[in-house]
Each structure stands twice: as C-alpha cells, then as structure tokens.
A and B are shown apart, each in its own frame.
Chain A
Amino acid sequence: MGRAGGIFPTIIGTIFIAVIAVLISTPLGVCTAIFLTEYAKEGIMTKIVRFGSECLAGIPSIIFGLFGFVLFVEYLHFGWSILSGSLTLSFMILPTIIRTTEEAIKAVPYSFREVSYSLGATKWQTIKKVVLPGALPGIVTGVILGIGRSVGETAAVIFTAGGSLNIPSSIFDSSRTMSVHFYILAREGISMNNAYGTAAILVISILLINFFAYWIMHKVTAKYS
C-alpha cells in the first residue's frame, strides 16, 4: 500500500474531493455574502450570520472530521466516500468563501449600483448584471483559496473519505487525498522516499494554487484603486 507505485489515484481523489467541496460551498457562500452586503441592514440578523461564519472559521479541522463522521458516514449512511469528504470540506471552507466574496462585493463602487437602479433595473437584476460580474475575480480568489485549503487538509478528510488507494468510479467510493496519503506514508514509515515525493507534489501544487489566487486578487485591487 504505497510502498511501490505512483500516486495517480490519490491525485484523482484529491481533485474530485476539492472540486465537489467547492461546488457545494460556493453557492452557499456567495448567497450569504450577497445577503450581508446587499440585502440585510446592519443589525441582529447580520450579527447572527457573521457570528456563525466567524465561529465556523475558528473550529479545528478535527472537529469537522468528527462531525462529518457522525453525520455523513454514520447517520446518513454515505459511508467512507468522496461525498462525505467533500460535504465536510465544503462546510470547512464556507467562511473563507463568505469573507472573500463579501470583500469583493464591497469593493464594487456604489455608483455602479446607482446607475443600474436609475436605468430601472430591479435589485436582483442589479446584483446579477452589475455587482456579481464586478466582484467575480474576488469570488474566484475565494474559490481558489478554498480549493487550496481542501487539498492541504488531512484531519477532516481521513475520517470521512477513508483511505482506499483505488481510482474512484463514483462519488460513493472511498478515496485517499494526497495529504492523507502523505500522512500515512510518513507516519507509518512505509516509504520515506515516496513520502518525500508526495510532499513535493503536494506543496508545489498548493503553492501554485495560492500564487494564482493572490495574482487574481492583485489584479482586482489594481482595477478599483
């Protein structure tokens, strides 16, 4: 198990889990951010929503792992699967996406909205046609940061997605991500060479993902300032 051979199945597993997690959490995060910036007035409701998001950001990944294990693996009978893993991760990266989207929406100048309203657009039309396109690079940054966090996460995935080394054929299959694979190789001393190799791929891919995110963020700040 990992002593010989390559890490192709774990790369596939990582991509599956990270992408599905982002697909689930982006709509939730973007809607929450739209609520916070465009719909709600500052008050008890926004306080509750912000409190939830901030607390969620502070919760350790191992707690998410425990939670995902009880809710998805045991209670909903998804078993150790890509679905359980990505649902758990989507909850974990939700605060990241909310925060970056909120900042991106706030950066869209208020005059844009005024022009849109003056042309007779409704609130939703303004958001859909003016605010969201303007905030898109910022939202993409949040999504990429979310992918980066999912790829690097171990504790939340190991108890929800399991450790199968086969190439997954459906979202109900168990799969191992690169970081879980690396943890198992290094911790159980299966093969130090393979552990170093996996770590190199893992770190390089995460650095690339984050570089890409910061590059987009840099372009956004340059655009509006």
Chain B
Amino acid sequence: MFVKDNMSTKDKLITCVIYTVAFSAISILLLITIFIFRKGAPLIFKIGIPNFIMNKTWAPLGSQYGIFSMIMGTIWITAGAMIIGIPLGVSCSIYLVEYAPLIIRKILKPIIELLAGIPSVVYGFIGVVMLAPFIRIHMGGPGLSVLAGSIILGIMILPTIVGISIDTLQAVPNSYREGALALGATKWQSIYKVVLPAARNGIIASIILGMGRAIGETMAVIMVTGNSANVPHSILDPVRTLTSNIALEMGYATGDHQQALFSTGIVLFIFIMIINTNHLLKIYFYYLLYLPLQFFVL
C-alpha cells in the first residue's frame, strides 16, 4: 500500500520497518491497558463495582477493599493543587510574556523548565522537612496533610502550566495588542480582554495537563500527605491518594490484596485517560474558570 513499485528493495524494507516501529507508542499503550486490566479487573467484578468504589473501608487483612476514601483524597489534593498552581502559573506566564523585559524572560523561562526536571522524591523531601513542621506548628494538625500535599503539587505542576501558557501567549499576534491599545484600552485591559481570550485553548490545555500530572504524582504525595485511608474533613487532615495507595502497599501485597492494588490502578488509569482524551473537559474548564475570570477580574 505504502511501498511504491519504483523503490529499491532496501528502500522498501526500510519503509516497512519505519511503518511498523511507528506504531510502538500506541502498541505500548494497548499493552499497558491489557495487562493492568487483566490483573485488576477480576477483583473488581468479584466484589462488585459499586462496592469497590463506594466502600469507605480499606482493610486488606479483613478482605475489605473499598477505595472511596482514596478517590476523595485524590480529588481533594488535585483540587488544592489546582487552586494554588493555576493562579501562580498563569500570572507568572502573563508577567513573563507581557511585562518582563526580554532578558528576564530569557533567564527565568529555562529556570522554570528546570523545575520540571527535579525528581518528585526531592519535592516530597522538602515538604517533609520544611512544609509539614511549619503547618504543624502554625496551623495545627499533624502537619502531613491535604494542605501540604496541595502546596507541593501546586509547585510541581507550575512548569507544565507556565511552559505551555508562555508558548501560547507568545503565539498571539502583536497586532491584537496594538489594536486594543489603539482603541484606548489600558495594558491590563488589552491583556484580559484580548490576549487571554485569544490564548484560551493553550492555557486551558496547559491546566488540564497540569491536572493530569497532579493526579498521577506518587512519590511526593506519599511523603507529605500522611497516608491515612480516611475521607478528609478539613485541609489539615492526613489523606491517602490512589497513587500512594498503590505505591505504599505494592512492596508486600500478595494474592487478592495485590489484585486490589491493580484495581486501584485501573481507576487511576481511567481518570487519566478521561483527562487525556476528553475534549468536553476543555469546554467545562472554559465555563468554570475562564468565563468567570473575564467578568470578575477588574
């Protein structure tokens, strides 16, 4: 089909190889889906989907596998990380693109990108030795809490949000800004009425990517959130997420218990795939975040 008749044998061979290898990424994705589901799905069906998702008790020794508190934990931590990460990240990129002199942008942008390379265990360690004691002393509670996890994750998703937002803001043609300024708009008016709406898709995409990263983060979360498998009632309560549930118990789990961890992985996998693929989420984010911002800011 893709091999033309006038090609030499070598070229035909190479074309075949490249066409085959090109599908490695999608094949790996399929392999991951198959293996995770094969290992985790039997247990979900054995104890029933509603029981698995809505049961609040996680007690592997008593064969109680309910991950409701972990789902709530993931939602709390992710929401907290977004509340901290979105304003910081978006305002940081607006500053870097619209206000900062070129030299500052050239220095700061690579530094923010370097933040993405720092291992998550290191973030977690910083959270344990600095943030958790601070929260414990000044705000009460055990310190290892939803709040600590949200702050650390909010910082961790900054490079994702800033990197993509900067690129989209830079892609907005300068004539847009000039047009707004020529109509008598102030600098800030031109930014939030013209530039931000024009950069809408990219900024929302960056937020969604950051959210995916926050949901999937494991090591930093394990270290700073305290890991008790209860539904949190305040931001100072310790909490356990889906990811940390897997990583904490995978080392020693066997039999049904190990399968239950893979079932947790399935739920996490579904969360992530919804975020990766769902374009409805973009529209939802637009109405939830972006539109109110247009009305209420200034």
Contact = CB atoms under 8 A, between A and B. Distances in A.
Contacts of A71: 31, 35
A202 B39 contact: no
Contact of B250 (A59, A69, A182): A69
A56 B29 contact: yes
A35 B265 contact: no
A66 to B, nearest CB: 5
Given A52-B23, A183-B219, A186-B125, A63 B119 contact: no
B25 A98 contact: yes
Contact of B11 (A56, A64, A124): A124
Contacts of B277: 55
Interface stretch (A5-13, A105-113, A132-140, A206-214): A206-214
**Interface majority SS (helix, strand, loop, mixed), chain B:** helix
A58 B29 contact: no
Interface in A29-69: 31-32, 34-36, 39-40, 45, 48-49, 51-56, 58-67, 69
B79 interface: no
B269 A63 contact: yes
Contact of B25 (A56, A148, A211): A56
B121 interface: yes
A83 interface: no
A214 B8 CA distance: 40
Contacts of A187: 222-223
Candidate in B11, B28, B222 with the most chain A CB atoms within 10 angstroms:
B28
B102 interface: no
Interface residues of B, number: 61
B22 interface: yes
B278 to A, nearest CB: 12
B279 to A, nearest CB: 13
A70 B110 contact: no
A193 interface: no
B246 interface: yes
Contact of B268 (A62, A70, A159, A211): A62
A152 B22 contact: no
Interface stretch (B46-54, B56-64, B165-173, B209-217): B209-217
A171 interface: no
B250 A159 contact: yes
A216 to B, nearest CB: 13
A66 B262 contact: yes
Nearest to A206: B117
Contacts of B275: 58
A49 B119 contact: no
Contacts of A195: 125
Contacts of A55: 29, 273, 276-277
Contact of A39 (B19, B120, B246, B265): B19
B118 interface: yes
Contacts of B110: 214
A195 B223 CA distance: 14
B107 interface: no
A64 B265 CA distance: 10
B218 A60 contact: yes
Nearest to A39: B18
Given A60-B216, A187-B223, A36 B22 contact: yes
Contacts of A62: 216, 218, 243, 246-247, 265, 268
A158 B120 CA distance: 14
B272 interface: yes
A203 interface: yes
B25 A95 contact: yes
Interface string A147-167: 011011111001100000000
Given A58-B276, A67-B32, A152-B120, A123 B11 contact: yes
Interface of A: 27-28, 31-32, 34-36, 39-40, 45, 48-49, 51-56, 58-67, 69-71, 75, 91, 94-95, 98, 122-124, 145, 148-149, 151-155, 158-159, 179, 182-183, 186-187, 195, 199, 202-203, 206-207, 209-211, 214
Q: Top 9 nearest A-B pairs by Cβ distance?
A: A60-B216, A52-B26, A152-B119, A35-B22, A52-B25, A31-B21, A155-B218, A62-B218, A53-B25
20 contacts: A31-B22, A32-B25, A39-B19, A39-B22, A40-B22, A52-B27, A54-B276, A56-B25, A60-B216, A60-B272, A65-B246, A67-B36, A94-B25, A122-B7, A148-B117, A154-B119, A182-B122, A182-B125, A183-B121, A206-B117
Interface of B: 2, 7-8, 10-11, 14-15, 17-19, 21-29, 31-32, 35-36, 38-39, 110, 113-114, 117-122, 124-125, 128, 209, 212, 215-219, 222-223, 243, 246-247, 250-251, 261-262, 265, 268-269, 272-273, 275-277
